[in-house]
């Protein structure tokens, strides 16, 4: 529904401080103005092998936001409670904050390495909802970032004509 002005905000953070400093992945979506567009921001900081902070920002359509809202609603994450989830620890933490209309929820838990961590938790069903929603959102964000910047590069670089083999050039000129 383009123009849907229901308040929407989603933020995900996963990070830790360790041998290579503060390393994290963070992204958020926020509806703008009348709801016809939204901003999407992404940050990834890894100091491993002296990598630097990567920040990306783009404007996305209301159709994408509607799809994210659908994914959130279908996951039923808004019904969950993180009180029995593993607490943040030396391995780091994950945060998920969602504002959808009048509903607002914020989760914090330890980093989840695999489904074994989920099944061994005090609330495996609730943590499973969180785990799969986060996996879906991360896949969406990585696809968006990749696609957005491939398109951006295509629009902002001058194409270089392919080098043709000499026999092709000779054949083309002889006609």
Over the chain, what is the mean pLDDT? 85
CB 103 within 8 A of CB 8: no
Q: What percent of the chain has pLDDT over 90?
A: 58
Mean pLDDT of 136-153: 83
Could you tell me which residues come within 8 angstroms of residue 73 by beta carbon, excluding any fewer than 6 positions away? 100
**Residue 154 pLDDT more than 80?**
no
Q: Which residue did the predictor score with more confidence, 168 or 57? A: 57
Q: Distance between CA atoms of 134 and 115, rounded to whole angstroms?
A: 13
CATH superfamily of 8-173: Mago nashi (3.30.1560.10)
- Which DSSP helix (H) or strand (E) runs through 104? strand 103-110
Position 170 scores a pLDDT of 46
**Residue 169 pLDDT more than 60?**
no
Per-residue pLDDT of 110-122, as tens digits, reads: 999 899 999 999 9
Range in 1-10, 78-87, 99-108, 152-161 with the lowest mean pLDDT: 152-161
**Residue 26 pLDDT more than 80?**
yes
Alpha helices in 27-123 (DSSP H): 62-75, 115-119
Read off φ and ψ for residue 39, nearest 5 degrees.
-100, 145
Q: Distance between CA atoms of 60 and 50, rounded to whole angstroms?
A: 31
How far are the Cα atoms of 15, 68, 95, 106, 160 from residue 8, in angstroms, in the given order?
A: 24, 10, 17, 14, 42
Range in 43-52, 59-68, 79-88, 99-108 with the lowest mean pLDDT: 43-52
How far are the Cα atoms of 29, 43, 44, 133, 161 from residue 25, in angstroms, in the given order?
A: 14, 6, 4, 16, 38
Domain boundary assignment for the chain: 8-173
**What residues does 57 pair with on adjacent strands?**
41
């Amino acid at each position: 529904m383009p123009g849907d002005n229901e308040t929407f905000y989603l933020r995900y953070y996963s990070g830790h401080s360790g041998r290579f400093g503060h390393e994290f992945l963070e992204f958020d979506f926020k509806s703008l103005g009348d709801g016809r567009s939204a901003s999407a921001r992404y940050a990834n900081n890894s100091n491993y092998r002296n990598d630097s902070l990567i920040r990306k920002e783009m404007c996305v359509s209301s159709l994408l936001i509607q799809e994210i809202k659908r994914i959130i609603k279908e996951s039923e994450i808004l019904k969950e409670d993180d009180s029995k989830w593993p607490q943040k620890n030396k391995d780091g933490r994950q945060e998920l904050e969602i504002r959808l209309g009048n509903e607002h929820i914020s989760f914090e838990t330890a980093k989840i390495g695999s489904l074994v961590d989920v099944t061994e938790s005090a609330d495996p069903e609730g943590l499973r909802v969180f785990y799969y929603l986060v996996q879906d959102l991360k896949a969406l964000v990585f696809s968006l970032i990749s696609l957005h910047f491939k398109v951006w590069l295509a629009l902002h670089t001058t194409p270089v004509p392919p080098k043709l083999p000499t026999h092709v050039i000779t054949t083309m000129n002889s006609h």
